[in-house]
Structure 1
Amino acid sequence: MIVPMFKYSFLVHHLDYNSFLEDLKKLGVVHIIQKKEEPSIEILDAYRRVNEVEKTMKTLSTFRDENAYDEVQIPQSGNEIMEAVASVQTNIEHYNQQISILNKELNQLLPWGNFSWSKIEQLENEAGVQMYFFYVSTKKFQDEWEAAYNLTKISEDKGYTYFVLVLENDQTIPDIDAEEVKLPKQSIGEIQGQLKELTEQLEQEKATLHAYANKGSLVLENYSLELKDALASSEAVHHTSDELEGQVKLMEGWAPKDRLAELDAYLENASVYYLKSEANHADKPPVQLKNNRFNRLFETISNLYALPSYNELDLTPFLAPFYLLFFGFCFSDAGYGLLFVLVATIVKAKQKEANPILSLIQLLGASTMFFGILGGTFFGIELYKTNLPVYRDLAKSMEASGITVQDIMFKSSLILGLIQMLFGMFLRAAKEIKQAGFIHAVSTLGWAFLIIASAVNYLVADKMNVEFMNIPYMIIGGICLIGIFFMNTPGKSLLLNFGSGLWDTYNTVVGGVGDLLSYVRLFALGLASAILGLVFNDLALKLINPEAGIVMQIVGFVLMLVILVVGHAINIFMSGLGSMVHPLRLTFVEFYKNAGFEGGGKAYNPFKKQVN
């Protein structure tokens, strides 16, 4: 449900305003109304600083290592840690660049060997010659070059030949099809020494980051909260208006109904004049959701789309059971569901604080187990084809009736879809009654009851051959059609209502059929998951050959385990992804559309103290 909001207007003397803000911050109740769209330069700078701290904390989280040994002194100021981390990051970037350059130079020198440039320069000066370094594809190297020129082959590496050409000072380089190389003026030993030194310095800087990550994260977290606290105060001042030439400060905000008592108790004893009024939709108040323990687990899912607007219904309690059923329908394997429940339970037991995500996984796993038991699949094993008493008897009964499990699951997916679509229509009607009155919901209710009456008539009159049911169906249908064609736009002329009704009929029939068929994906995904699990089982079992030797049997057994583990892991990942995404689509497209969901609500974010 959406918690009712009340609007407060506070008039405070300018000398008491700062203490009033501190008191409001301690209460943590009021969501301040933003009157100015453009933030000030100070607020933008504060946001930038908060983002820098958050980014630094994220960087340090990758260096956190509880087993790392460090003796680095950690600054106790958040600002000092920020500067220290920035300095270390700069050093690391510099060392990485230098190491990259030296590795490139080392790769250039390796084919030539570890020679001394000083000796080469001495030789060139004493003999009056110049030495030139070349390389060429080994296939293009010509042996005649060694006879024609003063040329010495140095090495061959990775399809290239490296050689040195020695010329007197007055000679020019001959026209040979090779590439000259300008080598770094260092030896291999010198570069390797520099690389070792730089690598040690780099590791030292990384060790410093490990120390900051291990010991300084809490300081940075507190610093981040301090910055956010100061930012919240700056924004509160920014959205406060001056009245009576600055003598009085005017602030407006929202407070939820369940916390009015503590706010009113403070205001009665404070030097503050205030006005209070219940919120209306035109004011666009913030939205705070309040659900029971079960439905609260699904707020994470509903918030992926949007918060409802203030005068709408919170659809979280209504989508929760459907999403739970749809997920299990798509996964539809009792073994996978059992695995989900066990893993989530074990992880949950090891954590000190409650994790709603793990509780949600437990529920989704239980739903998967339920539909897996109904569909008769356990880690890809077809239970209806086993000798288990219950499944054996059910299989015989279905075979005698000429139906299959797939028929039942297919029809069940359509029935579930129809139920959710009708449920959405009734929710839409409830919203229309709440916002505009009952008359505006007549057309929507007409469609809902017409669909229900048609379904009942199909089952009773057509399937059971109860002919007299056609008469009440025609009466109910006629009443529904009157509402659909002549009451869909209250206050307009009958002709306009009729035209609007025709258009609405086209959209409802065409869109409704398409929406209903969309729910077939529940059956298709469950079937795909079962088939894929069955295929992996079949591949694995074919590797077992009782007639083979003991060694081949052991190899076959090991390969069987690998295929089972890897195959079912792939199936769990793919089926789990589909089971999460497709129910979301059915919820956010088909269900939300039929429920007339608008969204666009802004989350309730009270002005409160961030640090103790």
Structure 2
Amino acid sequence: MTVAKMEMLNLVAPIRYIDKISREIVLLENIHMVNALNEINEDNFTLSIAEENIEELVDMCVIKAYREERDYKDISEKINNLMDYLQIEKNIKRKYIEEEYDFETSIGEIEDIYEDIEGVYREKTQYHEELKRIKEFDSHIHQLRQTNANLSILKNLHFFSFKIGILSKENINRLKKNYENISAIVLHIGSNEKGEVYLVISPKDLETETNRTLHSVRFYELDIPKEFLGTPDEIVVNIENKVRENKSHLETINNKLEKLKEEYGAVVERAYSRLMLEEEISRVKNETACTQSYFYLSGWVQSSEKERIKDRFRKYGEKVILMFKGVSEVHKYIIPPTKLKNNRLTRPFEALVKMYGVPSYSEMDPTPFLSITYMLLFGTMFGDVGQGLVFLLAGLYLSKKNKKGLYGGILTRLGISSTIFGFLYGSVFGFEHIIPALLVHPIEHIDFMLMGSVVIGIIMLITSFGYSIVNKLKQRDMKEGLFGRNGLNGLIFYLALLGIVANVALDKEIVPSGLLYVIVLISLVLIVIREPLANLILKKRPLYNEEASSYYIESGFDIFETLLSMMSNTISFIRVGAFALNHVGLFIAFQTMAKIVNNFAGSIIIFLIGNIIIICLEGLIVFIQGLRLEYYELFSKYYMGEGIEFRPVRLADN
């Protein structure tokens, strides 16, 4: 439920080990690579000044970027083609990459078998294309069977030529308007999904003019194979024979490919796994810097993984130098990547956080707060036992179908929340009197729902102030953390305003009004002078980062913005109760329609359609509204989301 602690790794080793070390880093899958040359140029790559490190330190004076000389484009294309030809699933097999190997041997194996397998697959493709062409031709002229037209006779005419083609429906009228300009017989012989099929017979002397007219109406001429000339019955027989012949050839080729798969499948899988590793190794090497004798590598690692990394490289002894530095030891302008650590309940909601932005390394992870509040908001707005269970089942299905996807997990948790609130509201598929309400029926307690929503919003907003204060103080931003409108001073100001509103609403002084007004006044003054005050406490000069007059004019407007935002943020949560009431009201509308129908079967259909609409349409609206409250009312107070996600170099299946 926190951001993982990071350290910077600097590694130096003899250049002859660059392939082995890069391979180790890929297989470790826990190092977020950083360009080593940039780190060296910015004086962030450091080695301890020990006698055994002198040679490496001196060598750094003539450093340059490492460039991989090998190009895997050609062999990559061949291996991926073979995986497709043999219908082999593109999965990386760890057993092929964790053992020692020579990739040149794998390349040689692929080169030896590629031509044979490609030739068989090319033959398969040709038969597929021909079969497709035959079936397409058959679909275009199957209406010709209803006529007595003999294409062989038409083909052998000395003074006339013919063509069969398709016109789109919008161009038919254009053709009709040009009938007087076309010296040809135009016969409509059928229709299909692409348009209308026509047989056109024209004198050969006028063929050019006819073609020009047909071209103007975008007439698509069909290519008629020689073997399909003859009477309609002969064409039918020829097409059936040709289809049967092609399918027979395809079956033979598929059997041949299956045998090739049995013989060479393991070779191709092995080459694919090793290719993926080699390409990743190449990416690692391109992030390194090198001299004639040594190479230098930098990356971020989790502190908890440091010992594992040391153990992995211990076998190289003193030939590999490892240096680890904490975040406080690197330059302040260098941003460490962020690795979120959440439990099973809240982990799926990381996807919603990352949609807004990745938290920076110095920020608190908002995922736990977002997950709990978002489930609460969704359940409040969409409380129904039956519909919640539908969401739950849909989420479980998505999670099973795509185990790496997070959205199934989100839907599952929202379904549970909706179901729980359904019991609190006593609602099952919209019916509110099947089970008793453990709390209230929303439509019968409108004031309670609306006021309760505002109270929920106030609690969330106060919590968001707490997050903001912690984040700002972690970032050593005293100005905003202590005196800003979203800092400690802003929280006190907000609580004082709530106290004043409560005194007026209840018509009695819970807290003395005079004290509250004094707190409000002091808070406003602190918001206005927060910059010079913070600089004065921290002994920074100058007190203002701009002209004093400009600063105070801007701060004056900031007061109005603060008041408006606090008021709008609080009132905005009324929508939670409003959507809970809308959920009930929408189903009441379907109930009314069912009563009007006054038919059991019709009523069931209306209730079914109503629930589908509510689940799909209103469920989507509530999902979006919950996100809006999280992003605009809460995140805007305490969350920046300007971090870099921790992405360790690793092998990933396609």
Fold match, TM over 0.5?
Answer: yes
Q: Which residue of 1 aligns with 2:557?
A: 503
CA distance in 2 between partners of 1:453 and 1:331 (Å): 33
CA distance in 2 between partners of 1:593 and 1:88 (Å): 61
When residues 91 and 520 of structure 1 are mapped into structure 2, their CA distance, relative to the original with a 3 A threshold, is: farther
Q: Which residue of 2 aligns with 1:602?
A: 644
Equivalent residues in 2 for 1:476-487, closer than 5 Å? 476-487=519-530
* Conserved 8 A contact 2:141-2:197: no
Shift, 1:256, TM fit: 0.3
Equivalent residues in 2 for 1:324-403, closer than 5 Å? 324-341=375-392, 358-383=408-433
CA distance in 1 between partners of 2:199 and 2:369 (Å): 79
Of residues 454-463 and 317-326 in structure 1, the stretch that sits farther from structure 2 once superposed is: 454-463
Shift, 1:153, TM fit: 12
Q: Does 1:263 align with 2:309?
A: yes
Q: Which residue of 1 aligns with 2:236?
A: 192
Shift, 1:12, TM fit: 0.5
Q: Which residue of 1 aligns with 2:613?
A: 570
1:335 is paired with a residue of what secondary structure?
helix
Q: What one-letter code is carried by the residue in structure 1 that aligns with 2:334? A: D
When residues 318 and 389 of structure 1 are mapped into structure 2, their CA distance, relative to the original with a 3 A threshold, is: closer
Q: What one-letter code is carried by the residue in structure 2 that aligns with 1:405? A: H
Of residues 328-337 and 82-91 in structure 1, the stretch that sits farther from structure 2 once superposed is: 82-91
Shift, 1:361, TM fit: 3.3
Cα distance per residue 1:281-330 (max 9 Å; x no partner): 52222221112232223223222332112222211112111111122123
Cα distance per residue 1:17-61 (max 9 Å; x no partner): 333333334433322213579997979965995899599879979
CA distance in 2 between partners of 1:355 and 1:164 (Å): 56
1:601 is paired with a residue of what secondary structure?
coil
Equivalent residues in 2 for 1:71-150, closer than 5 Å? 87=122, 90-91=125-126, 94-95=129-130, 98-99=133-134, 102-103=137-138, 106=141, 109-110=144-145, 112-115=147-150, 117-118=152-153, 121=156
Shift, 1:258, TM fit: 0.9
Equivalent residues in 2 for 1:288-303, closer than 5 Å? 288-303=339-354
Shift, 1:570, TM fit: 2.4
Q: Does 1:419 align with 2:454?
A: no
1:382 is paired with a residue of what secondary structure?
coil
When residues 390 and 94 of structure 1 are mapped into structure 2, their CA distance, relative to the original with a 3 A threshold, is: closer
Q: Which residue of 1 aligns with 2:102?
A: none
* Conserved 8 A contact 1:10-1:252: yes
Shift, 1:452, TM fit: 1.4
- Return the TM-score normalized by structure 1: 0.72
* Conserved 8 A contact 1:12-1:249: yes
Of residues 283-292 and 373-382 in structure 1, the stretch that sits farther from structure 2 once superposed is: 373-382
Shift, 1:232, TM fit: 1.5
Shift, 1:576, TM fit: 2.2
In the alignment, structure 2 segments of 5+ residues that lack a partner are: 39-64, 90-108, 166-171, 177-183, 536-542
CA distance in 2 between partners of 1:297 and 1:87 (Å): 45
Cα distance per residue 1:454-492 (max 9 Å; x no partner): 213322464141276213312332332232121146323
* Conserved 8 A contact 2:144-2:189: no
Q: Does 1:317 align with 2:368?
A: yes
* Conserved 8 A contact 2:499-2:510: no
Shift, 1:428, TM fit: 1.8
2:277 is paired with a residue of what secondary structure?
helix
Q: Does 1:536 align with 2:571?
A: no
Q: Does 1:247 align with 2:301?
A: no
CA distance in 2 between partners of 1:424 and 1:408 (Å): 24
Shift, 1:233, TM fit: 0.5
1:304 is paired with a residue of what secondary structure?
helix
CA distance in 2 between partners of 1:479 and 1:436 (Å): 23
2:346 is paired with a residue of what secondary structure?
helix
Q: What one-letter code is carried by the residue in structure 2 that aligns with 1:321? A: I
CA distance in 2 between partners of 1:94 and 1:163 (Å): 25
Cα distance per residue 1:317-349 (max 9 Å; x no partner): 12111111122123222321133345656898x
Cα distance per residue 1:238-263 (max 9 Å; x no partner): 111113xx101111111101111222
Cα distance per residue 1:150-188 (max 9 Å; x no partner): x99999878x99999999x9999xx9xx99999957233
Q: What one-letter code is carried by the residue in structure 2 that aligns with 1:478? A: L
In the alignment, structure 1 segments of 5+ residues that lack a partner are: 63-75, 142-150, 545-555
CA distance in 2 between partners of 1:437 and 1:561 (Å): 61
CA distance in 2 between partners of 1:464 and 1:369 (Å): 39
Of residues 322-331 and 580-589 in structure 1, the stretch that sits farther from structure 2 once superposed is: 580-589
CA distance in 1 between partners of 2:27 and 2:205 (Å): 88
Q: Does 1:233 align with 2:305?
A: no
When residues 190 and 2 of structure 1 are mapped into structure 2, their CA distance, relative to the original with a 3 A threshold, is: farther
- Return the TM-score normalized by structure 2: 0.68
Q: What one-letter code is carried by the residue in structure 1 that aligns with 2:643? A: G
CA distance in 2 between partners of 1:260 and 1:166 (Å): 84
CA distance in 1 between partners of 2:5 and 2:373 (Å): 26
Q: What one-letter code is carried by the residue in structure 1 that aligns with 2:24? A: D
* Conserved 8 A contact 2:394-2:411: no
Q: Does 1:457 align with 2:492?
A: no
Identity between Structure 1 and Structure 2 (%): 19
When residues 542 and 332 of structure 1 are mapped into structure 2, their CA distance, relative to the original with a 3 A threshold, is: same
CA-atom RMSD in angstroms: 5.3
Cα distance per residue 1:48-100 (max 9 Å; x no partner): 958995998799799xxxxxxxxxxxxx9799599589748954773476247
2:20 is paired with a residue of what secondary structure?
helix
1:9 is paired with a residue of what secondary structure?
strand
CA distance in 2 between partners of 1:273 and 1:232 (Å): 22
Q: Which residue of 2 aligns with 1:272?
A: 320
CA distance in 2 between partners of 1:581 and 1:370 (Å): 20
When residues 364 and 107 of structure 1 are mapped into structure 2, their CA distance, relative to the original with a 3 A threshold, is: same
When residues 466 and 286 of structure 1 are mapped into structure 2, their CA distance, relative to the original with a 3 A threshold, is: closer
Cα distance per residue 1:500-519 (max 9 Å; x no partner): 43232222233344444443
CA distance in 2 between partners of 1:311 and 1:440 (Å): 15
* Conserved 8 A contact 1:284-1:310: yes
CA distance in 1 between partners of 2:200 and 2:289 (Å): 82
Number of equivalent positions: 553
Q: What one-letter code is carried by the residue in structure 2 that aligns with 1:192? A: V
When residues 84 and 235 of structure 1 are mapped into structure 2, their CA distance, relative to the original with a 3 A threshold, is: farther
When residues 255 and 468 of structure 1 are mapped into structure 2, their CA distance, relative to the original with a 3 A threshold, is: closer
CA distance in 1 between partners of 2:190 and 2:576 (Å): 60
Q: What one-letter code is carried by the residue in structure 1 that aligns with 2:499? A: V
CA distance in 2 between partners of 1:406 and 1:227 (Å): 64
Q: What one-letter code is carried by the residue in structure 2 that aligns with 1:273? A: I
When residues 320 and 105 of structure 1 are mapped into structure 2, their CA distance, relative to the original with a 3 A threshold, is: closer
CA distance in 2 between partners of 1:241 and 1:88 (Å): 48
* Conserved 8 A contact 2:590-2:607: yes
CA distance in 2 between partners of 1:111 and 1:364 (Å): 60
When residues 542 and 224 of structure 1 are mapped into structure 2, their CA distance, relative to the original with a 3 A threshold, is: farther
CA distance in 2 between partners of 1:460 and 1:55 (Å): 77
CA distance in 2 between partners of 1:51 and 1:306 (Å): 39
Q: Which residue of 2 aligns with 1:548?
A: none
2:22 is paired with a residue of what secondary structure?
helix
Shift, 1:429, TM fit: 2.0
When residues 268 and 410 of structure 1 are mapped into structure 2, their CA distance, relative to the original with a 3 A threshold, is: same
